[in-house]
Amino acid sequence: MSPSIAETSRPLRIGVSACFFHADPERPVFKGKTLLYAEESMLDLVGRAGALALLVPRPAEGGPSIDAYVDLLDGLLLEGGSDVCPRTYGEEPQRPQWEGDEIRDRYEIELIHAFHDAGKPVLGICRGIQILNVAFGGTLHQDIATQVPGSADHRNWDIYDDNRHEIDVVAGSRLADLYDGAGRVTVNSIHHQAVKDLADGFVVEARSSTDGIVEAMRLPGERFVAAVQWHPEFTPRDGTDQIPPEPMIDDFLAAAASAATGVHVGPRVASGVASGVASGVES
């Protein structure tokens, strides 16, 4: 059965949550100013699929609200970066270096709930799975190495995204379906925090093969909310043994197209509709 998409109007618009460089009087560039930024590979991941990646700022006082951005955009992508502050999930940092970024936490949690309430899809990457879990009431391991005995090395600064391990994908899960029933696959690993208590309503879709750390989760239901702990945007595009990013990104963009048009669009045609929001239906 071949897909049939009617005339398209505009590319999908995907909001990317910002990373923060907070005001620093010692910084040689933009001294004492707050910088919001995105890692380029994340923007490229969206762009290669044919959609527009747009950085979402914190709303300015007296300016457009978060709801204005939600109205403009078709989905939300939460990127990696700084730690989630333990206070955001009701704990105190056990070490000063685990203080995290409480300001970014509040900004992203507001975005998450605004997009979810509007029925627009949310996909979390690395820190994104952590802040999603916290936003819906879950908690985190502040540091895997000290809080999970016998854990694997989930972060190695020297080799960075060349640090890899295997994960076990839950049979029958949506993630397994996207990867043709794959059971054990390889991913990169660049994190020291992780999901501890899973938020109510979510299901685990993958765990680290070595230590059981949550590597993927999803909120079942009509509204798309899903996340992975690895960085699909860092996966090499050729000759890699790592799980490819395209199936999960296509699935996310299909949900964005469906939310934008009010008609179902399957992930197998998502790359076609990302460059133009469909006004027709799939057949």
- Give the model's confidence band at 6: pLDDT under 50 very low, under 70 low, under 90 confident, else very high: very low
**pLDDT tens digits, one per residue of 107-147:** 999 999 999 999 999 999 999 999 999 999 999 999 999 99
Mean pLDDT score across all residues of the chain: 90
The answer to whether the Cα torsion of 67, 79, 16, 269 is positive or negative is negative
Structural domain that includes position 181? 13-274
How many structural domains comprise the chain?
1
Q: Is residue 220 part of a domain?
A: yes
Q: Is residue 156 part of a domain?
A: yes
Q: Is residue 117 part of a domain?
A: yes
The one catalytic residue among 126, 165, 246, 282 = 126
The answer to whether the Cα torsion of 196, 202, 127, 209 is positive or negative is positive
pLDDT of res. 198: 98
Q: Is residue 177 part of a domain?
A: yes
Mean of pLDDT values over 249-262: 95
Q: What is the CATH number of the domain that holds 192?
A: 3.40.50.880
Task: List the alpha helices (DSSP H) in 38-143.
Answer: 40-48, 66-72, 102-117, 127-135
116 is catalytic: no
The one catalytic residue among 108, 205, 215, 233 = 233
Mean of pLDDT values over 238-267: 90
The one catalytic residue among 116, 141, 231, 282 = 231
Q: Is residue 71 part of a domain?
A: yes
- Give the model's confidence band at 265: pLDDT under 50 very low, under 70 low, under 90 confident, else very high: confident
pLDDT of res. 268: 52
* Per-residue buried b or exposed e for 129-152, using 16+ beta carbons within 10 Å of the residue's own CB: bbbbbbbbebbbbbbbeeebeebb
Residue 194 burial by Cβ neighbours in a 10 Å radius (0-12, 13-18, 19+)? buried
Q: Is residue 34 part of a domain?
A: yes
Is pLDDT of 280 > 50? Answer: no
CA distance 128 to 15: 13
Q: Is residue 280 part of a domain?
A: no
282 is catalytic: no
**pLDDT tens digits, one per residue of 35-69:** 999 999 999 999 999 999 999 999 999 999 999 99
**pLDDT tens digits, one per residue of 159-212:** 888 888 999 999 999 999 999 988 999 998 999 999 999 999 999 999 999 999
**pLDDT tens digits, one per residue of 200-237:** 999 999 999 999 999 999 999 999 999 999 999 999 88
**pLDDT tens digits, one per residue of 89-107:** 999 999 999 999 999 999 9
pLDDT of res. 277: 64
pLDDT of res. 108: 98
231 is catalytic: yes
